[in-house]
Amino acid sequence: MLQKTPVRPVYLDANATTRLDPLALEAMLPFLKGEFGNPSSLHGHGQPAKAVLGRARAAVAALIGAEESEIVFTSGGTEANNAAILSALATQEGRDEIVTSAVEHPAVLALCAHLAQSRGIKVHVIPVDGCGRLDMEAYRAALGPKTALASIMWANNETGTLFPVEELADLAHEAGALFHTDAVQAAGRVPVRLSAVAADFLSLSAHKFHGPKGVGALFVRKGTAFSPLIRGGKQERGRRAGTENVAGIAGLGAAASLAAWHLLTDSDRIAGLRDRLEAGIAELFPHATVLGDTSNRLPNTASIAFDKVDGEGLLVLLAQMGVAVSGGSACASGMMEPSHVLKAMKLKTDLLFGAVRFSLSRDNDAEDIERALAALPAAMDKLCGPTPFRRAVEEAAAALHPAPRASLRKVA
């Protein structure tokens, strides 16, 4: 009997996490097997561990244009964000306000909400427009003599929208405040140069660029006062106590070097695949809408809202067909709730529940995109039932806007 070759799943959810690169795994393995030494030990057992921490620090620094001494290893993006925000509040005397955006990751927003509730910290949450762009007037107005820190992400995880971090950092400094940017989705996907952006703190996370989970880094600019989140031993020059996650950091370092290389060699290819996906969706579903700032976003992210469609249902059906994507809603108290990002963008109700995020990585190829495009109409038909009505609507819309369409509808 002929054996069926298993079909490779199509993974288009890189903003959730990425596959560990085999070279990053190889860099980790010695420290999970024979090399058990503590990097703080003075005897020979600690030397390989100490050396790999140094190499990883150099690789992470090179990825973001920082100095090695400015890198503090953490357990990931969440810890880095918490450490930056709490440090600013602890060190900025007489300043107890935070400025942030409505579309930050919960690793920023949940902490800010907790600080507001438990410590009475005033948090200015700056709104965004329909494309997810920051309201710059509101940002300027919120900064003042009481601002300890402005924390605005480099790139949004749901829409890929990029923020003008260079200008945002300068404005924060003019007000005498520190500036932190959550670059968890940006590092390894777009050039991040801390020589051009005067951020005081920057967070990144290995698992978004083919490194291991549970490890990341906080950049702390030289000369910036720092109060550690985790206190204890003298590791990380007193900035993050606890015996280092040596294997994880080895993987982070290798992943950072690989990301720097792929950033140069693979970004245009990934953006081309994303554009092909969007063009294909535009032909199949003329009423679909691209979310986010289409002129200024990550090259790997396509956030699409399907009009009057249950996006969550669509992604479940796509998953059954071997295509992994994310949705823009989540189940809260038995009800579907659109994400805080889409709500902040004030999407029409018809679009709010129909958002699906396709996020690509260097692992994807043209076949993945064609397979996703082939699965979408089948999933949509299953979701909406045999759909003479939907077909009729789509066909009428297609007749009004004949293919080939240059691009999808953009949110005004």
Which residues of this chain interact with ligand PLP, rule CB under 6 A? 76-78, 105, 107, 153, 157, 182, 184-185, 205, 216
Q: Between 78 and 161, name the residue whose CB sits nearer to ligand PLP.
A: 78
H-assigned helices in 232-308:
246-284
Residue 143 in contact with residue 178, Cβ under 8 Å? no
Distance in Å, CB of 355 to ligand PLP, minimum: 16
Distance in Å, CB of 300 to ligand PLP, minimum: 13
Q: Between 208 and 239, name the residue whose CB sits nearer to ligand PLP.
A: 208
Distance in Å, CB of 123 to ligand PLP, minimum: 17
For 100, phi and psi rounded to 5 degrees? -145, -175
Distance in Å, CB of 48 to ligand PLP, minimum: 26
For 202, phi and psi rounded to 5 degrees? -145, 135
CB atoms under 10 Å from CB of 166, counted, come to 13
Supply the residues annotated as catalytic.
331
Distance in Å, CB of 77 to ligand PLP, minimum: 3
The two tokens of residue 400 are 């009004």
Residue 252 in contact with residue 206, Cβ under 8 Å? yes
* Coil, strand or helix at 106: helix
Q: Between 163 and 226, name the residue whose CB sits nearer to ligand PLP.
A: 163
Q: What 8-state DSSP symbol labels residue 306?
A: -
Q: Between 153 and 247, name the residue whose CB sits nearer to ligand PLP.
A: 153
Q: Residue 350: which of 311, 380, 404 has the closest Cα?
A: 311
Question: 145 exposed, middle or buried (CB, 10 Å; 0-12, 13-18, 19+)?
Answer: exposed
Q: Residue 280: which of 404, 368, 116 has the closest Cα?
A: 404
Sign of CA dihedral 17, 21, 27, 33: positive
Q: Between 357 and 362, name the residue whose CB sits nearer to ligand PLP.
A: 357
CA distance 216 to 398: 46
Q: What 8-state DSSP symbol labels residue 206?
A: G
Q: Between 63 and 107, name the residue whose CB sits nearer to ligand PLP.
A: 107
Distance in Å, CB of 153 to ligand PLP, minimum: 6
Q: What 8-state DSSP symbol labels residue 3?
A: P
Q: Between 153 and 260, name the residue whose CB sits nearer to ligand PLP.
A: 153
Residue 189 in contact with residue 263, Cβ under 8 Å? yes
CA distance 191 to 373: 29
CA distance 172 to 163: 14
Distance in Å, CB of 109 to ligand PLP, minimum: 10
Beta strands in 69-136 (DSSP E): 71-74, 97-101, 122-126
Q: Who contacts 2 (Cβ-Cβ below 8 Å, separation ≥6)?
A: none
Distance in Å, CB of 365 to ligand PLP, minimum: 24
Residue 288 in contact with residue 305, Cβ under 8 Å? yes
Q: Between 107 and 342, name the residue whose CB sits nearer to ligand PLP.
A: 107
